[in-house]
A and B are shown apart, each in its own frame.
Chain A
Amino acid sequence: MSEANFAFVATSEKPQLPPPQGTTGAVGWMRENLFSSPLNIILTLLSAYAVFSTVPGIFNWAFVNSVWNATSLDECRAMTQDGACWAVIRERYPQFLFGFYPSELYWRPILAFVLLGVALVPALWDGMPKRGAALMASMTFPFVAFWLIWGGFGLEPVSSTQLGGLLLTMIIGVSGISFSLPIGIILALSRSSNLPIVKSLAVMFIEFIRGVPLITLLFTAHVLLNYFLPKGVNFDIVLRVVIMVTLFASAYMAEVIRGGLAALPKGQYEAADALGLGYWQNMRLIILPQALKISIPGIVNTFIGLFKDTTLVLIIGLMDPLGLVAPTLADQRWNGIFVELYAFIAFMFFIFCFAMSRYSMYLERKLHTGHR
């Protein structure tokens, strides 16, 4: 029996046939993703209509027909009928960035912004050489920023009433974020501890804060805090707001982290106990690193929420970017230009919040080690 008798057995691989027409390339992709069923076709057409009826209009409004050089809304309208009047932003952007901060001292908040960026590098980039030392250096940032922004010790003092715009948002947001995480961890640990008194105190605090709107807390900071402090002790309004925003965010943070703690298999706790670790070692080395990792999306969502919630300070009269819209509109030259202002502020917040959410997704992917 020689092999030659089995002529139908192929000894060499046949060349692959091309895939059927229309299942590859652009056409195939469209068939698959856009026109796979009648419902899909309708949806696609509807979406396409929605996109084509809005996007070019917005694009033209924002870029093509927009006006950058004008000194009043009337002047803008004279130049273009259906374009954005970004001139107001061009004229007022220092206010939207720094509020009423003295203009000759702008370098101070700018330097603080830059330093914040530098200080964040070691915290966000874990592959950085000499990360430990850099983190220590980052920790001096709050002092430096505080000194730069409020002055004193050789710099001209600037009062809190002059803070505003994005600067105020960043002050409240950054300090709120950096305070609420540790406080939230402590609260979460208290709530899931087996000490009944500590636990119930934590439950009361968390449920109270989560049960009331942030506005009422800000009102309290604004209206009532002075009643609760000894006579003569007076907190700065920005500090009061930071405290309230932090307390608010920590309660939410605590719940997020508690979720992470609860999601850990009981075996982790038991194994750590079996190793003879004390409570704090146990938490620090075994439980928290895992629990925090699980909670990253929730933590970052809380951060984003906090950052967005900083706009609420306008209700108690602080001049955050949104609060500055009213004084701008009060200027008779810019009366009625709200769309551009709202669009600009929305864009500003979007950048920060979107960046934060993307970073959390990146972190999630990177730390995903297969088990939950």
Chain B
Amino acid sequence: MKKMILPIALGAAFAAASFSAASAGTLEDVKERGKLRCAVSTGLAGFSFTDENGQWQGFDVDYCRAVAAAVLGNPDAVEFSPATGKTRFTMLASGEVDILSRNTTWTFSRDADLKFTFLGISYFDGQGFMVKKSLGVSSAKELDGATVCIQTGTTTELNLSDYFAGQGMSYEPLPIETNTEGRANYLADACDVYTTDASGLAASRATFENADDHIVLPEIISKEPLGPLVRHGDEQWADIGRWVLNAMKIAEEKGITAANADEMAANSKDPEVKRLLGASGEMGASLGLDNDFALVAIKAVGNYGEVFERHLGTDTKVNLARGLNAMWTEGGLQYAPPFR
């Protein structure tokens, strides 16, 4: 049975190479590995998609790059794992990824039952409906009896059921796994309505050939605060993720951009800017990072507003207005705790 030696040897080699050492802390693991492992959406225009070179791009992706820059000093030191609505939580819970940045809604049960820590709100969203104009529907209240495409394993599934039950209407669900599938089914008329977060609808609509043939209905039926999340139990790692996100927001508030960050760090008189960019104080060290972690991150991807405009803003095909996601100083809800 010579053949048996071969697989056994292969197994030994496999096992030896794949047992990872006991984890001391996520930060140490990431540093030792030299790569951040980040779960993102399998494909949602504006939020996460692969470009023609196979590089991941998008709003959620840039957050991961910012964290990688802050922790490892290199925005490209990220391994992206595409996750579906269904697989994302198990990927994070099992330790397959360090951080989940896949427009995930912050809810009580995900926090308390699924044992995850949300790091803040990167995007204020709400669930909406998209229909074809030719249906002649102008309100979600007219959708009684429609077939609805819906991503399984998401909060939208539960919201939808609540909304229709509340309105005394019925519908036929067509469960799908990914946004791509949802789009394909919707375009092929396998469903009348596509429902997901309003940003996701806008993103999908942007990629349609005749975007004008489709409308997003005015009703927003839920609050969907989207944000990155990590596992319970590693507070240091959660703090790092939280403050990278906050740093991006503070940077916008203070007018720090990727282009002027170095200069601001050197010349700014504002004490908070100096603390943020590591020019004074020992703020980074208390997170276990370099003092200039925020500077590196902002130089790599830009501030919150820059990232937003680059991937989702009115100049892109997705064409989303800042709306609720404007800084609090501009009438929006984005508000970072002070950096002190």
| A→B interface (CB under 8 Å) | 74, 95, 100, 103, 123, 135-136, 138-139, 141-143, 146, 150, 152, 159, 161-162, 175, 178-179, 181-182, 185, 222-223, 225-226, 231-237, 239, 242, 284, 316-317, 319, 326-327, 329-332, 335-336, 338
Alpha-carbon gap, A172 to B9, bound state (A): 16
Q: B288 near A: Cβ within 8 Å?
A: no
Quick check: B43 and A161 within 8 Å, CB to CB?
no
Q: Chain A at the B interface: mostly helix, strand, loop or mixed? A: helix
Q: A146-B10, A175-B10, A223-B94 are in contact. Are A284 and B1 (CB under 8 A)?
A: yes
Quick check: A139 and B5 within 8 Å, CB to CB?
yes
Quick check: A336 and B42 within 8 Å, CB to CB?
no
Quick check: B17 and A146 within 8 Å, CB to CB?
yes
Q: B90 near A: Cβ within 8 Å?
A: yes
Alpha-carbon gap, A180 to B207, bound state (A): 45
Alpha-carbon gap, A316 to B87, bound state (A): 7
Q: A100-B54, A316-B87, A330-B43 are in contact. Are A178 and B3 (CB under 8 A)?
A: yes
Interface contacts (Cβ under 8 Å), in number, total 122
Q: How many residues of B contact A (CB 8 A)?
A: 51
In the bound complex, residues from chain B placing their C-beta under 8 Å from that of A331 are 49-50
Quick check: A146 and B79 within 8 Å, CB to CB?
no
Q: B180 near A: Cβ within 8 Å?
A: yes
In the bound complex, residues from chain A placing their C-beta under 8 Å from that of B37 are 161
Quick check: A181 and B3 within 8 Å, CB to CB?
yes
Alpha-carbon gap, A237 to B39, bound state (A): 14
Within 8 A of A (CB), among B111-127: none
In the bound complex, residues from chain A placing their C-beta under 8 Å from that of B90 are 222-223
Q: B181 near A: Cβ within 8 Å?
A: yes
With CB as the reference atom, state the residue of chain B lying closest to A179.
Answer: B7
Between A and B, 22 residue pairs with Cβ closer than 8 Å are: A95-B54, A142-B9, A142-B10, A143-B10, A150-B17, A161-B79, A162-B79, A175-B7, A175-B10, A178-B3, A179-B7, A182-B3, A182-B8, A232-B22, A233-B19, A284-B1, A319-B82, A326-B180, A326-B181, A327-B43, A335-B209, A336-B187
Alpha-carbon gap, A327 to B55, bound state (A): 12
In the bound complex, residues from chain B placing their C-beta under 8 Å from that of A139 are 2, 5-6, 9
In the bound complex, residues from chain B placing their C-beta under 8 Å from that of A234 are 19-20, 23, 94-95
